[in-house]
Each structure stands twice: as C-alpha cells, then as structure tokens.
C-alpha cells in the first residue's frame, strides 16, 4: 500500500505548454522537420483501425498545423476531401504553401479555427453538417482545457462518425522525456527539441484521457498506448453506423 502510494506520487506531474504554435520560428522549425515516419504511422494505424472507412467523404483534421498529416491522408485516400483547422496563422501559412505545392487545393481546405469554436450564436446557425471522419494528431496536449477537443468532436460529429486521435503520452519520469528527445530529435534544431520536450511533459497518460472521455460522455471511444511515446483514441460515435 505504502509502496504503491510512493510510486504513484513519484510519477511525473503534467506541465502545460502554450496552446498555439504561432511563433514564426517555431512554426518554421515544425513545418520543416521530417515527420515522415510518425505521420505515415498515423495514417497506417488509421487505415488498420477503420477497415470499414467509407470510400469517400470529407474528413476533419483538428489542429492540422502545417498540414503534413492532412496531405498524407489525402494522398492515401484519393476519393476523400479534408478540412484542416488550426488557430495559428503561422502554421497555416506553411500549410497553404504545402497544399498548393501538392496541387491538392481541390481536396484540402485549411481554415483558421480556434478549438472549440466559441461563438455559440453562430453555432446555432451553423449548417447541421457532421463529418464522417474526425482525426487529430498532437493537438490534445496543447489545449489549456482538454475538454475543448472533446467538445469539438461532439459538435462536429453525428451518428456513425469515426474518430481517430493520436497524441504524445507523458512518460513516468522527466529523464525519459530527455532520452526521447535525444533518441527521436537528435539532429533537429534546438527550438524543435525544446518543443518536443515540453510537449512530452504536457501530454496526458492513458488513464487521464479515459477520465476525460467519461466526463465528456464519449466513453465509447477507446484509448491505448502505441509504441513508447504515443497513445491513440479511436471509435465510432454512437447511433446508426455509417453505410459503407
């Protein structure tokens, strides 16, 4: 009993980091970093998780940043369109360029949107459109209030919407976060190494995300750790399943 208590209290406490990545140098370092391996892994896991994904539709990418996953998803699913939302102009500017360079403007729309959308008046006038697929990578740990993500997921989904979210997972010890930075961002610029370290400290553990989902009434969604530093949250919003 005493041992369990002291082990739990020794776990690394979460340290929040700033929400938006709207500093130009920070956005540039992020946009120019090579995320091919983890971002391809994201798309591969999404494919494996949802073999029943409809042939076509419009997906929502929350916290799309410079659009790297948005683009990889669009390439992997050529009959799908994607809306990417982010509140950082600096990040979106890199995203607009990347989408234009890939000539995918017909299927990818990036928008400046703060999550959750606060304007409840316009919310009530909003078209009652729900996205058949909502995905997000590395937004959750940035949010001052994690319920912002779950509120937006609820607002933008309908019966049958598929949800796939990946985020960093806070390690048990600060030293492990340092080791991850050296292991996975060894040759990256200092600004990116600093952000990665801070993001690991700001990330949630599986049990904390499960508590958030219960609080949001989204406890049908599942959570599990993948690899050493990521967790995924996935599932289908209840109601009639999608016609596939």
Nearer to ligand SAM, 43 or 242 (CB): 43
Contacts of 34 (CB under 8 A, 6+ apart): none
Q: Which of 82, 68, 158, 154 is nearest to 115 (CA)?
A: 154
CB of 143 to ligand SAM, least distance (A): 6
Place of tokens 């316009």: 122
User: Does residue 132 bind ligand SAM (CB under 6 A)?
Assistant: no
User: Does residue 161 bind ligand SAM (CB under 6 A)?
Assistant: no
User: Does residue 69 bind ligand SAM (CB under 6 A)?
Assistant: yes
User: Does residue 91 bind ligand SAM (CB under 6 A)?
Assistant: yes
Candidate residues 12, 45, 87, 216; the one interacting with ligand SAM per rule CB under 6 A? 87
User: Does residue 143 bind ligand SAM (CB under 6 A)?
Assistant: yes
User: Does residue 68 bind ligand SAM (CB under 6 A)?
Assistant: yes
| In 7-115, beta strands by DSSP E | 57-62, 80-86, 108-112
Nearer to ligand SAM, 83 or 86 (CB): 86
CB of 204 to ligand SAM, least distance (A): 14
User: Does residue 86 bind ligand SAM (CB under 6 A)?
Assistant: yes
- Element of type H or E holding 133: strand 133-137
Determine the length of the chain: 244
User: Does residue 114 bind ligand SAM (CB under 6 A)?
Assistant: yes
Residue 242's CB: how many other CB atoms inside 10 A? 18
CB of 47 to ligand SAM, least distance (A): 17
Nearer to ligand SAM, 65 or 171 (CB): 65
User: Does residue 19 bind ligand SAM (CB under 6 A)?
Assistant: yes
Instruction: In whole angstroms, give the CA distance from residue 6 to residue 152.
Output: 37
User: Does residue 138 bind ligand SAM (CB under 6 A)?
Assistant: yes
Q: How far is CA 19 from the centre of its chain?
A: 13
Residue 22's CB: how many other CB atoms inside 10 A? 15
**Contact criterion met (CB below 8 Å) for 136 and 171:** no
User: Does residue 211 bind ligand SAM (CB under 6 A)?
Assistant: no
User: Does residue 95 bind ligand SAM (CB under 6 A)?
Assistant: no
* b/e per residue 152-170 (b: at least 16 CB within 10 A): bbeebbeebbbbbbbbbbb
Applying CB under 6 A, which residues contact ligand SAM? 19-21, 63-65, 68-69, 86-88, 91, 114-115, 137-139, 142-143, 148
């Amino acid at each position: 009993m005493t041992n369990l208590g002291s082990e739990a209290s020794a776990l690394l406490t979460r340290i929040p980091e700033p929400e938006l990545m709207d500093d130009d140098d920070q956005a540039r370092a992020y946009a120019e970093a090579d995320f091919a391996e983890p971002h391809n892994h994201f798309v591969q896991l999404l494919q494996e998780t949802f073999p029943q994904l409809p042939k076509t539709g419009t997906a929502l990418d929350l916290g799309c940043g410079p659009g790297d996953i948005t683009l990889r998803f669009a390439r992997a699913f050529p009959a799908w369109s994607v809306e990417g939302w982010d509140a950082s102009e600096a990040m979106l500017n890199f995203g607009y360029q990347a989408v234009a360079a890939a000539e995918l403007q017909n299927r990818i729309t990036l928008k400046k949107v703060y999550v959750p959308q606060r304007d409840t008046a316009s919310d009530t006038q909003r078209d009652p459109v729900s996205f058949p697929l909502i995905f997000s990578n590395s937004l959750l740990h940035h949010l001052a209030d994690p319920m912002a993500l779950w509120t937006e997921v609820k607002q933008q989904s309908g019966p049958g919407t598929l949800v796939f979210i990946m985020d960093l997972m806070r390690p048990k010890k600060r030293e492990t976060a340092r080791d991850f930075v050296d292991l996975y961002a060894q040759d990256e610029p200092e600004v990116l190494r600093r952000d990665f370290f801070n993001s690991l400290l700001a990330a949630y553990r599986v049990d904390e995300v499960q508590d958030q989902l219960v609080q949001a009434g989204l406890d049908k969604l599942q959570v599990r750790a993948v690899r050493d530093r990521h967790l995924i949250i996935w599932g289908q919003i209840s109601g009639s399943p999608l016609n596939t």
